Structure 1
Amino acid sequence: MRIDPYLYFDGSCAEAFAAYAAILGAPAPQLMAYAESPDGDCGGPDAAGRIMHAWLDLGAFALMGSDVPPGMPLPAGPHAFVSLGVDDDAQAERIFAALADGGAVRMPMESTFFAHRFGMLVDRFGTGWMVLHARACGDMETAA
């Protein structure tokens, strides 16, 4: 079993996924517009430039998403955060700064009892992110 986050956008899905691919060092995302649907005119003429399905390969998991169809309201959010575990402090700092550019930091990147580096933000596309370079379980009590 695997769990893959799915994100909704209101017309900025392609831009967001291109940015996420660049920030996370992933291959270009796979994008399917509503106009490319096998069902033909899926979503009507107002949906032609919107993304029906986006898929970003991140190795052990995928990040997926889409633009909501025209006329469907985008729920206020984020309702959930994408938690991104990284391997070192430099990677945590770089990714956090890139995602925070134009967004809103909810918790600044800092050392915690459970992480060498941890921070929370909502990016410029409205997606919530947690960036974490975790401590080993035995290392938690020695956190500074």
Structure 2
Amino acid sequence: MTVRLNPYLGFRDSARAALEFYHSVFGGSLTVGTFAEMGMEVDAADRDKVMHGQLEGENGLLLMASDSPSGMRADTGSSISVSLSGDDLDALTRYWEGLSDGATILEPFTQAPWGDTFGMLTDRFGTTWLVNASAPAA
């Protein structure tokens, strides 16, 4: 049996662009279904918005996202950040560099006081990411 905790990002109308951007960063397989494709009755302006998108990236990464139809409240502020961590410095550096495109860098990706390589940014879609690469074992 398996249980996962997956980030599910919400957007007003940019889920497709965000998922395609994350796909370019994390690789893997991307599936996107619109409200129209899922048979949902929504305003005409919302038919092509993303009802559910899922990115199964390399290294077992899983990220989901959707748009809020115009009739629903879109939460544009959150205290949640997405954290990427592990001991694969090359992969985490590659993810950092990809996510940095158009981002606001909050903390540069550099050696932190605790010895790991750490950085924090808010990407061009408003999602805050924390990236931490564990220091090599001594």
Q: Please report the TM-score for the alignment, with normalisation by the length of structure 2.
A: 0.84
Of the three residues 24, 27, 40, the one matched with 1:25 is 27
Q: CA deviation at 1:88?
A: 3.1
Where do 5+ consecutive residues of structure 2 fail to align?
none
2:97 counterpart of 1:97: yes
Where do 5+ consecutive residues of structure 1 fail to align?
140-144
Q: CA deviation at 1:99?
A: 0.8
Q: Secondary structure at the match of 1:83?
A: strand
Q: Secondary structure at the match of 2:36?
A: helix
Q: CA deviation at 1:24?
A: 1.1
1:26-64 CA distances to partner (integer Å, 9 max, x unpaired)?
22x11010111234x2x2212112100011113535211
**Gap change, CA 1:20 and 1:115, over 3 Å in 2:** farther
2:120 counterpart of 1:123: no
Q: Please report the TM-score for the alignment, with normalisation by the length of structure 1.
A: 0.81
User: Residue 15 of structure 1 corresponds to which residue in structure 2?
Assistant: 17
Q: CA RMSD in A?
A: 2.1
> 1:62-141 counterparts in 2 under 5 A?
62-135=62-135
1:16 counterpart letter in structure 2:
A
Tell me if structure 2 keeps the 8 A contact 1:92–1:117: no
Q: How many positions carry a matched residue from both structures?
A: 135
User: Residue 142 of structure 1 corresponds to which residue in structure 2?
Assistant: none
**Gap change, CA 1:73 and 1:132, over 3 Å in 2:** same
Q: Distance in 1 between matches of 2:53 and 2:131?
A: 22
Q: Secondary structure at the match of 1:21?
A: helix
